[in-house]
Structure 1
Amino acid sequence: MSDKITLAYPAPYVYPLFEGVWAHWQQLLTSARFPHALLLAAPPGSGRRALISQLAKVRLCGHQNDSACGHCHHCQLFAAGNHPDIHWLAPEKPGKQIGIDAVRKVQRQALETSQLGGARFIVIECVERLGEAAANALLKSLEEPPSGCYFVLLTDSLDSLLATIISRCSVWKAPQAEAETAKVWIEQALQRSVPDHAVSLYRGAPLAARDFVASGGLDHHHSVVEGFSTYVRERTGLFDTIEVLVAHYPASLNWLSHFLLDVLKWRQGVGQTIVHRHHHQRVAEVANVLTTQQVHSLLRALHQLQRQLQIHTGLNTELVVSQWLLSIGE
Structure 2
Amino acid sequence: MVELYPWQHTQWAQLANRTQHPHAYLFHGPQGIGKHVLAQRLGQLLLCSNPQQHQPCGQCKSCLLLSAGSHPDFYAVQPEEADKAIRVDQIRALVDFVGTTAQLGGRKLVLLDPAEAMNTQAANALLKSLEEPSGDTVLLLVTHQLSSLLPTIRSRCVKQACRVPSPSEAVRWLQAQLPEVSKEDLAQLLSLARGFPLQAFRLHEQGAVQWQNLMLEELDKLRQGQQWPSAVADAWQAIPLLLIFDWFYQWTLLLVRQQITRSPCQTPNPLLRDYLYELTAQTECTQVLAFQDWLLQQRHAVQNRANLNRTLLLEALLVQWSDLISAG
Aligned residues: 316
Distance (whole Å) between structure 2 residues aligned to residue 271 and residue 171 of structure 1? 41
Deviations 1:32-67 (A, max 9, x none): x12211001133332222222222111111114511
Q: Equivalent residues in 2 for 1:169-184 (5 A)?
A: 169-184=157-172
Distance (whole Å) between structure 1 residues aligned to residue 153 and residue 306 of structure 2? 26
Name the structure 2 match of 1:308. 301
Distance (whole Å) between structure 1 residues aligned to residue 61 and residue 73 of structure 2? 12
The answer to whether the aligner puts 1:290 opposite 2:283 as a matched pair is yes
Name the structure 2 match of 1:209. 200
Distance (whole Å) between structure 2 residues aligned to residue 173 and residue 270 of structure 1? 37
The answer to whether the aligner puts 1:93 opposite 2:87 as a matched pair is no
Pair 142,270 (structure 1): closer, same or farther in 2 beyond 3 Å? farther
The DSSP-based 3-state class of the residue aligned with 1:327 is: helix
> Comparing 141-150 with 273-282, which one deviates more in the overlay?
273-282
Residue 165 of structure 1, CA deviation? 1.7
Name the structure 2 match of 1:6. none
Residue 314 of structure 1, CA deviation? 4.1
> Comparing 83-92 with 268-277, which one deviates more in the overlay?
268-277
Residue 14 of structure 1, CA deviation? 1.1
Distance (whole Å) between structure 2 residues aligned to residue 27 and residue 45 of structure 1? 25
Q: Equivalent residues in 2 for 1:178-327 (5 A)?
A: 178-192=166-180, 193-195=182-184, 196-203=187-194, 205-231=196-222, 233-238=223-228, 239-250=230-241, 251-269=243-261, 271=263, 274-275=266-267, 278=270, 279-312=272-305, 314-327=307-320
Pair 272,27 (structure 1): closer, same or farther in 2 beyond 3 Å? farther
Distance (whole Å) between structure 1 residues aligned to residue 83 and residue 206 of structure 2? 23
Pair 286,247 (structure 1): closer, same or farther in 2 beyond 3 Å? farther
TM-score, normalised by the number of residues in structure 1: 0.87
Residue 197 of structure 1, CA deviation? 2.8
Name the structure 2 match of 1:26. 16
Contact 1:179 1:200 in 2 (8 A): no
Name the structure 2 match of 1:3. none
Q: Which runs of 5+ in 2 are unaligned?
A: none
Distance (whole Å) between structure 2 residues aligned to residue 271 and residue 179 of structure 1? 24
Name the structure 1 match of 2:34. 47
Name the structure 1 match of 2:112. 124
Name the structure 2 match of 1:168. 156
Pair 291,259 (structure 1): closer, same or farther in 2 beyond 3 Å? same
Pair 81,182 (structure 1): closer, same or farther in 2 beyond 3 Å? same
Residue 211 of structure 1, CA deviation? 2.5
Distance (whole Å) between structure 2 residues aligned to residue 201 and residue 190 of structure 1? 16
Name the structure 2 match of 1:108. 96
Pair 102,271 (structure 1): closer, same or farther in 2 beyond 3 Å? farther
Contact 1:13 1:50 in 2 (8 A): yes
Residue 267 of structure 1, CA deviation? 0.8
The DSSP-based 3-state class of the residue aligned with 1:150 is: strand
Distance (whole Å) between structure 2 residues aligned to residue 181 and residue 244 of structure 1? 36
Pair 145,247 (structure 1): closer, same or farther in 2 beyond 3 Å? same
Name the structure 1 match of 2:6. 16
One-letter code of the match for 1:285? E
The DSSP-based 3-state class of the residue aligned with 1:268 is: helix
Q: In the alignment, which of 9, 14, 24 is matched to residue 37 of structure 1?
A: 24
Name the structure 2 match of 1:154. 142
Distance (whole Å) between structure 2 residues aligned to residue 276 and residue 291 of structure 1? 24
Contact 1:40 1:171 in 2 (8 A): yes
Residue 23 of structure 1, CA deviation? 1.8
Q: Which runs of 5+ in 1 are unaligned?
A: 1-10
Distance (whole Å) between structure 2 residues aligned to residue 79 and residue 275 of structure 1? 42
The DSSP-based 3-state class of the residue aligned with 2:57 is: coil
Residue 266 of structure 1, CA deviation? 0.7
One-letter code of the match for 2:23? H
Distance (whole Å) between structure 1 residues aligned to residue 88 and residue 205 of structure 2? 38
Deviations 1:197-249 (A, max 9, x none): 31122135311201222443212221112322442x32431244223333212
The DSSP-based 3-state class of the residue aligned with 1:142 is: helix
Q: CA RMSD in A?
A: 2.3
Residue 27 of structure 1, CA deviation? 1.3
Residue 298 of structure 1, CA deviation? 2.1
